[in-house]
Amino acid sequence: MAQLYLTRKWLQNQQLDAHLGATALNNLLNTSHSVRRINSTRSGSLVTSSDDNDVEDLEMMLEAYFMQLDGTRNKILSVREYIDDTEDYVNIQLDNHRNELIQLQLTLTIASFAIASETLVAGAFGMNIPCTLYTQNGIFWPIVGGMTAVSILLFLVVLAYAKWKKLLGS
């Protein structure tokens, strides 16, 4: 734990560099005074005090960092849950719109079926086959009206069946 006290290690390195620089420049001076000053506990230096107080300070600092990391982790987890909830909400909305589009497509398909049945009858009458109905005057509009009424009735019957089977919402 004492090795984690980085300020002390940095100050020791600074004093050691200063001590080596002083000895290299001044070989004639007695270095015992400098060495004694480095090891002195009265100098007020953090380098020389190796009591448990420094370790306790370090432990308190590490605990504060761990608490801060735990708080950050909790925030990240809550943001992740918020993102998951938002994704679920968006997926529900997309599913709802997709279902509405499918219902619209089914309604249009039913309408296309009803119109196709009317077109089938019109196509049958449009062939060049001799028929007695071609010679009668005033029969065109009643047949067109009847085919349209049957087509609308077919559309409503198939639409009611789709609602009865709960393929379409209300």
Over its length of 170 residues, how does the chain's per-residue pLDDT go in tens digits? 566 667 777 888 888 877 776 676 665 445 444 444 444 443 444 444 455 566 777 788 888 999 999 999 999 999 999 999 999 999 999 999 999 999 999 999 999 999 999 999 888 877 777 778 777 888 888 888 999 999 999 999 999 999 998 888 76
- Report the predicted TM-score, pTM, of the whole model to 2 decimal places: 0.54
> 4 by DSSP, 3-state: which?
helix
Q: Amino acid identity of 7? A: T
Closest CA to 140 of 164, 117, 122: 122
Closest CA to 23 of 15, 44, 127, 158: 15
Helix H or strand E encompassing 126:
none
Domain ranges of the chain: 1-50
- Per-residue pLDDT, 43: 41
Could you give phi then psi for residue 36, rounded to 5 degrees? -65, -35
